[in-house]
Amino acid sequence: MFVRRRSPKLFITEADLYKMMQRNSANSTYQRRIPRIIHQTWKDTSIPSRWNLSVRSVRKLNADNFEYRLWTDNDMHEFVREKEPDVYANTFLTYSHNIQRVDAFRYILLYHLGGVYIDMDAGCSKSLDILLDALEALDPQAKHLAALPETKPNGLSNDFMISTKGHPLFAELVSHLSIFNHNYIVYYLTIMLSTGPLFLTINERLFSRSSGTISVRIIEGKAYSPLLLWFAGGNSWHGRDAQIIKYIYDVPRTLQLASIITAFLLIFFIYFLYSCYRRRSVR
């Protein structure tokens, strides 16, 4: 990744989760800091049938220890308008695509309420309490805890995120939404860099854990899926992102570099033609 990391990378691994499964969490001495709330979003309360099984597994396997909240588009607008009025007026409403508002809402929601955000197409294989217990046990002195899943080749996904309320990383994510709010010409690049996985990856790398009271852990791939989660698919944003990232990762490095250079030259050429057209129109 082209952004230099400011703090050492910390992981939560498959082994950490298996150790937690063998413990009796009722006898643990660590303090619970992550709110046991699961957040999901959809445009309304009518969940598409292709995600019935995944949503049902999330609710059923976590019913004993978690509160469940489904946020509609109307709820989303009301929440952001109340909690972040400047962001709402100057950034949130200016997005060209609704998925950008959904992405931004995830960061704002976890900053203000904490808990777990999970995409509709993700189903649970086990209760998420195992993961939250492990996070709290690994960093018993930390006031702020967060966990984000790794993706290939070297980034993070925002389809599943965990945080305590008021985490400094999520404060930075919210404050940086306006900085990254640009049209990057290509649709997927605009989404991914303005609010999506690239936005999250870059800002996590730039984030500096200033003390032992702040923890950000990366969820190892095997711990993430299939141990905890499985994916239903169904033309979700997760699926489209994964295909693009996998394609970039699989091609040889020389072709990657050539593709990047070609893309930048093409973008510059299009911008140059557009600028010439604008100048001629003004005349």
**Domain of 202: which CATH number?**
3.90.550
pTM tops 0.85: no
151 and 258 inside one domain: no
In a domain, 224, yes or no: yes
The string over 108-145, giving b where at least 16 C-beta atoms fall within 10 Å of a residue's C-beta and e elsewhere, is bbbbbbbbbbbbbbbbbeebbbbbbbbbbbbbeebbbb
The neighbouring-strand residues paired with 163 are 115, 146
Residue type, 199: F
214-219 vs 10-12, strand pairing mode: parallel
CA separation, residue 101 to residues 88, 165, 192, 230 (Å)? 10, 20, 12, 25
Residues 192 and 240 in one domain: yes
Instruction: Give the end-to-end CA distance of the chain in Å, rounded to a whole number.
Output: 44
Yes or no: say if 129 and 62 are a contact pair by the CB < 8 Å rule.
Answer: yes
Own/partner long-range contacts of 235-240 (Cβ < 8 Å, ≥24 apart) = 236/119, 236/120, 236/121, 237/99, 237/119, 237/159, 237/191, 237/196, 238/119, 238/121, 238/122, 238/157, 238/159, 239/121, 240/188
Q: Which domain holds residue 280?
A: 253-283
Q: What's the pLDDT score for residue 195?
A: 97
190 belongs to a structural domain: yes
- Residue 3 falls within a domain, yes or no? no
Do residue 153 and residue 258 come from a single domain?
Answer: no
In a domain, 4, yes or no: no
Residue 32 contacts by C-beta under 8 Å, 6 or more apart in sequence?
Answer: 132, 136
Regarding whether 161 and 279 lie in a shared domain, the answer is no
Indicate if 241 and 130 belong to the same structural domain. yes
Q: 3-class SS at 265?
A: helix
| Sign for the pseudo-dihedral over CA of 114, 117, 123, 125 | negative
Residue 275: the pLDDT is 64
**pLDDT value of position 244:** 54
- Where the chain has pLDDT below 70, the residues are 1-3, 24-29, 153, 234-283
Length of the chain: 283
Residue-wise DSSP of 53-81: HHHHHHHHHTTTT-EEEEE-HHHHHHHHH
Number of independent structural domains in the chain: 2
Residues 71, 79: contact at Cβ < 8 Å? Answer: yes
pLDDT for 241 equals 47
